Amino acid sequence: MDKLNAKKIRADFPILKQKINGEQLIYLDSAATSQMPVSVEEKIRRFNETSRANVHRGVHTLGVKATKLYEKSRQKVADFIGASSAKEVIFTSGCTDSLNLVAASFGEQNIQAGDEIVVSIMEHHSNLLPWQQLAKRKKAQLKFIEISKDGRLDLNGLKNKISSKTKLVALTHVSNVLGTINPIKEVIALAHEKGAIALIDGAQAVGHFPVNVTDLGADFYAFSGHKMFAPTGIGVLYGKRELLDKMLPYRLGGEMIANVTRDGATWAEVPQKFEAGTPNISGAIGLAAAIDYLNSIDLQLVKEHETELTAYVLEKLSKISGLTIYGPKESYERTGVISFNLKGIHPHDLATALDLDGIEVRAGHHCAQPLMESLETESTVRASLSIYNNKNDIDKLTSSLQEAKEFFSEFR
């Protein structure tokens, strides 16, 4: 079996060479934001040095060049996620923006009093709050799919939650706390059986394993560039053409119109209808470069590497007494997002202790407070993996956790 060229990959991310608090940096917070390889930075720099201009406006040479690069990036995204047309790819500022777009446009137009919206208890606030507030405004009902003790979706409960009243099922592909990979193809099929639309939050999925929106049957699929080696401030909303065509624009301004008079306006076709104002042109070009980078590695190898490393983390952490790991115990059912708590130590104290050893992890509620409540905790420590992590990083994490445990035990 082929393996990732781990040495070469680490060299592609110069940030990893630095020291933090005098210790070699170990970056275990890629679920929040991944690092960016030099090839992506290089592509953006080249764009700014040779082709920078606004898109879809000028007839001048640079404007045409920039527009071509921007639209080529859209096609690259479409191919990467298996969309049938680049017109189904809308550039947004990130996953949060994509989800809000669907709520403000599709939601406002289609959700009525008495309708039901189904989400899961493991949603990030970005895929919860737009639906919670829409439901309140429209007097619709928000229903939650619960999870089992080991952090998997309760599929039996789910079948009862989705009914003929359900207009929308909004579900995360992968939990940003538990790492659980949800069986979204089955859930989407169930939603469709009942006549509901399925929206998937792919923020923690895209870039970690192959995603094909057409094969999944997703009506909408949202994700962010900065979690998959692209810059911050660029994201994607994929939507089925027949849905996007019927939706009203969510922001109004330049470049999203067909015609404007004193009395009214008509809208441009998708995707321009949803891209008011100057878009994040260099961000889109950076996203395309990140896709080139991932394709050069092979997503299947990325998945295998992260699964193997996740198994290693689960094994190592399970040996630390007093440590609770949340989420599925089987590495193939999850990605490398591992949340845990160490008895008697606040997650923020633990994350600070790890930082002193150069290890960057996240601590908090991870923008998933209803999930925290269901896990009967307020916060967790979260270590999250990417292609540039290796077993040495995990060994260091484990020994640093052991040391922190001993240190804090002296104060009890």
* Binding-site ranges for ligand PMP (CB under 6 A): 94-96, 124, 126-127, 172, 176, 201, 203-204, 224, 367
Q: Which is nearer to ligand PMP, 96 or 105 (CB)?
A: 96
Query: In angstroms, what is the minimal distance from the CB of 99 to ligand PMP?
Result: 7
Q: Which is nearer to ligand PMP, 37 or 225 (CB)?
A: 225
| Beta-carbon-side half-sphere exposure of residue 166 (alpha carbons within 13 Å) | 27
Distances (CA, A) of 405 to 64, 221, 402: 59, 41, 5
- Give the DSSP letter string of 234-278: -EEEEE-HHHHHHSPPSS-STTSEEEE-SS-EEEPPTTGGG--SS
CA distance 140 to 123: 19
Asked whether the beta carbons of 398 and 316 are under 8 A apart, the reply is yes
Q: Which is nearer to ligand PMP, 124 or 161 (CB)?
A: 124
Q: Which is nearer to ligand PMP, 35 or 126 (CB)?
A: 126
Radius of gyration of the chain (CA): 22
Q: Which of 338, 300, 295 is nearest to 320 (CA)?
A: 338
Beta strands 235-239 and 257-260, pairing class: unpaired
Query: In angstroms, what is the minimal distance from the CB of 178 to ligand PMP?
Result: 11
Token digits for 256? 């999203």
Q: Which is nearer to ligand PMP, 176 or 331 (CB)?
A: 176
Burial of 274 per CB tally in 10 Å (0-12, 13-18, 19+): buried
Query: In angstroms, what is the minimal distance from the CB of 239 to ligand PMP?
Result: 17
Query: In angstroms, what is the minimal distance from the CB of 125 to ligand PMP?
Result: 8
Q: What are phi and psi of 143, to 5 degrees?
A: -115, 145
Instruction: Find tokens 């082929």 and name the residue.
Output: 2
| Beta-carbon-side half-sphere exposure of residue 48 (alpha carbons within 13 Å) | 10
Query: In angstroms, what is the minimal distance from the CB of 235 to ligand PMP?
Result: 6
User: How many residues does the structure list for the chain?
Assistant: 412
Q: Of 25, 155, 311, 367, which is the active-site residue?
A: 367
95 carries an active-site annotation: no
| Beta-carbon-side half-sphere exposure of residue 395 (alpha carbons within 13 Å) | 3
Query: In angstroms, what is the minimal distance from the CB of 171 to ligand PMP?
Result: 10
Q: Which is nearer to ligand PMP, 126 or 307 (CB)?
A: 126
Token digits for 390? 């290796």
Q: How many CB atoms lie within 10 A of CB 27?
A: 23
Q: Which is nearer to ligand PMP, 104 or 356 (CB)?
A: 104
Asked whether the beta carbons of 312 and 394 are under 8 A apart, the reply is yes
Query: In angstroms, what is the minimal distance from the CB of 176 to ligand PMP?
Result: 3
Hey, which residues are catalytic here? 367
